[in-house]
């Protein structure tokens, strides 16, 4: 008899809420482990995927189990798996065409996971992979922050911001962040050196001479970020428009590359005039970088911040809470 599991899936884009139903367990490939998921976090990409907002970059086949990162226990391993064994506690971010973590089981490539930090519960660990990897790739790989450099991290109280502030401090940077006044003391407790209350202060006219901006907001906030960065500095966005460099490296067909080039023309020109480099980041899974995050967590230099947890049966409520856009840290769904 086929084994089944509970999973949250959509059958079409713009479906209001995912349905939770029983589906067959996934079968691991040779390089995969089968994980029994204990917890998975909400990321805005889940809402964007459901809405069809990422179809241009990331078209999916339906039905689709949603959910982008997780923590759980290995219950089976593929024939080529060398690094993990049954019983290991792991966490990770599956590659883009193999999402589906709001489910009781996931088959995931061994290259996309790492051992769970021992000093975190499964619920805490599930709050790390997607935001941790994104922040690391932005701050370390693309902005190349060095000790003493000044960086603006937008939306410091959010899922990304709460991890990015801590990571930027481990790189020795001086961190400025934007948030509502109610979160000022909170982001300072994570390491922010300077806080801008975005309801009452305009970062673009208040700040100047920065080495780097990590933009999580996109739109006008991204365009105005170039005003505060000194020549030779860098801006990375995870919410703005992709640029031509990204389109080439992402392997998009020529007509999509062309559309991106036209859409990002104003942004590219703004960066050029300011003598500032611009990169759009679409994060990637990475075993090696998850291991770096695990070490930082073990050294207590990085900790997950969880706003609320919900059981899988309340996934629609968890997504609705995320949609409000004011979470303080992460929202985690447990598979109880
Ligand atoms: N490209 C990629 O690879 C990638 C990866 C991860 C995330 N992302 C994107 O990055 C964005 C942020 O993700 P997230 O997980 O951090 O989202 P999130 O947790 O939902 O962000 C919520 C936070 O944003 C703050 N906020 C809202 N508007 C703000 C503003 N104008 N200025 C400053 N803070 C503001 C809120 O603070 P207040 O309550 O104080 O308003 C709240 O704490 C999303 O669009 C997501 O899709 C992209």
**Which run of H or E residues covers position 133?**
helix 129-136
- State the DSSP string of 21-45: EEEEPPPP-TTEEEEEEEEEE--HH
Give the SS3 label for residue 10. Answer: strand
Q: Ligand 1: which of 325, 328, 329, 331 to mutate, judged by most atoms within 8 Å of the beta carbon? A: 325
Of all protein residues, the one whose alpha carbon is nearest to atom 31 of ligand 1 is 198
Same fold for the pair 4-128+304-334 and 131-280: no
Which residue lies with its CA nearest to atom 35 of ligand 1?
Answer: 155
> 84, 33 in Cβ contact below 8 A?
yes
Give the whole-angstrom CA distance, residue 255 versus residue 266. 19
- At 243, is the pLDDT very low, low, confident or very high (cuts 50, 70, 90)? confident
The superfamily in CATH containing domain 131-280 is NAD(P)-binding Rossmann-like Domain (3.40.50.720)
CA dihedral angle for residue 107, residue 286, residue 111, residue 25, rounded to 10 degrees: 0
- The 10 Å Cβ neighbour count of residue 203 is 20
Asked if 251 contacts 282 with a C-beta cutoff of 8 angstroms, the reply is no
Q: How far apart are CA 301 and CA 135, in angstroms?
A: 14
User: What's the rounded Cα separation, in Å, for the pair 35 and 74?
Assistant: 4
Tens of pLDDT along 86-137?
999 999 999 999 999 999 999 999 999 999 999 999 999 999 999 999 999 9
User: Over the chain, what is the mean pLDDT?
Assistant: 96
Q: Which residues line ligand 1 (CB under 6 A)?
A: 43-45, 48, 130-131, 134, 154-155, 157-161, 178-180, 183, 198, 216-217, 238-239, 281-283, 322, 325-328
Domain boundaries, given as residue ranges, for the chain: 4-128+304-334, 131-280
* Contact call for residues 28 and 78 (beta carbons, < 8 A): yes
CATH topology of domain 4-128+304-334: Quinone Oxidoreductase; Chain A, domain 1 (3.90.180)
Exposure string (b/e) for 255-279, b if CB count within 10 Å is 16 or more?
Answer: eebeebeeebeebeebbeebebbbb
| Residue 309 DSSP SS3 | strand
Per-residue pLDDT of 38-78, as tens digits, reads 999 999 999 999 999 888 888 899 999 999 999 999 999 99
CA 291 to centroid of ligand 1, rounded, Å: 25
Dist CA 112 CA 287 (whole Å): 5
Taking CA atoms, 60 is separated from 109, 232, 242, in Å, by 18, 38, 19
Give residue 165's pLDDT.
99
Distances (CA, A) of 228 to 150, 198, 234, 302: 11, 15, 10, 28
The helices-and-strands tally (H runs, E runs) of the chain is: 12, 16
pLDDT digits 0-9 by tens, 249-308: 888 899 999 999 999 999 999 999 999 999 999 999 999 999 999 999 999 999 999 999
User: How far lies 229's CA from each of 8, 108, 202, 306, in Å?
Assistant: 43, 40, 15, 32
């Amino acid at each position: 008899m086929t084994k089944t599991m509970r999973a949250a899936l959509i059958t079409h884009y713009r479906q209001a809420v995912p349905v939770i139903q029983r589906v067959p367990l996934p079968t691991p490939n040779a390089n995969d482990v089968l994980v029994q998921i204990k917890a998975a976090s909400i990321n805005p990409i889940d809402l964007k995927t459901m809405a069809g907002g990422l179809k241009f970059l990331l078209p999916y086949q339906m039905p689709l189990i949603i959910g982008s990162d997780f923590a759980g226990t290995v219950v089976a391993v593929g024939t080529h798996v060398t690094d993990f064994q049954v019983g290991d506690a792991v966490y990770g971010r599956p590659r883009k065409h193999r999402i589906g973590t709001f489910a009781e089981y996931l088959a995931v490539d061994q290259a996309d996971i790492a051992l769970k930090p021992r000093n975190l519960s499964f619920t805490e660990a599930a709050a790390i992979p997607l935001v941790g990897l994104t922040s690391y790739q932005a701050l370390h790989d693309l902005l190349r922050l060095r000790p003493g450099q000044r960086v603006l991290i937008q939306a410091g109280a959010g899922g990304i911001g709460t991890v990015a502030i801590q990571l930027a401090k481990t790189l020795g940077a001086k961190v400025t962040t934007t948030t509502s006044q109610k979160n000022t003391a909170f982001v300072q407790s994570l390491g922010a050196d300077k806080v801008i209350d975005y309801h009452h202060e305009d970062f673009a006219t208040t700040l100047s001479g920065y080495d780097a901006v990590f933009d999580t907001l996109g739109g006008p906030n991204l365009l105005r970020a170039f005003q505060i960065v000194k020549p030779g500095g860098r801006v990375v966005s995870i919410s703005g428009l992709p640029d031509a460099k990204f389109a080439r490296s992402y392997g998009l067909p020529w007509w999509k590359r062309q559309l991106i080039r036209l859409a990002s023309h104003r942004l590219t020109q703004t960066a050029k005039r300011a003598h500032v480099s611009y990169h759009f980041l679409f994060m990637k899974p990475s075993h090696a970088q998850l291991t770096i995050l695990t070490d930082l967590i073990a050294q207590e230099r990085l900790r997950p911040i969880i706003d609320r947890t919900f059981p899988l049966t309340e996934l629609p409520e968890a997504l609705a809470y995320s949609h409000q856009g004011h979470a303080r840290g992460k929202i985690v769904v447990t598979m109880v």
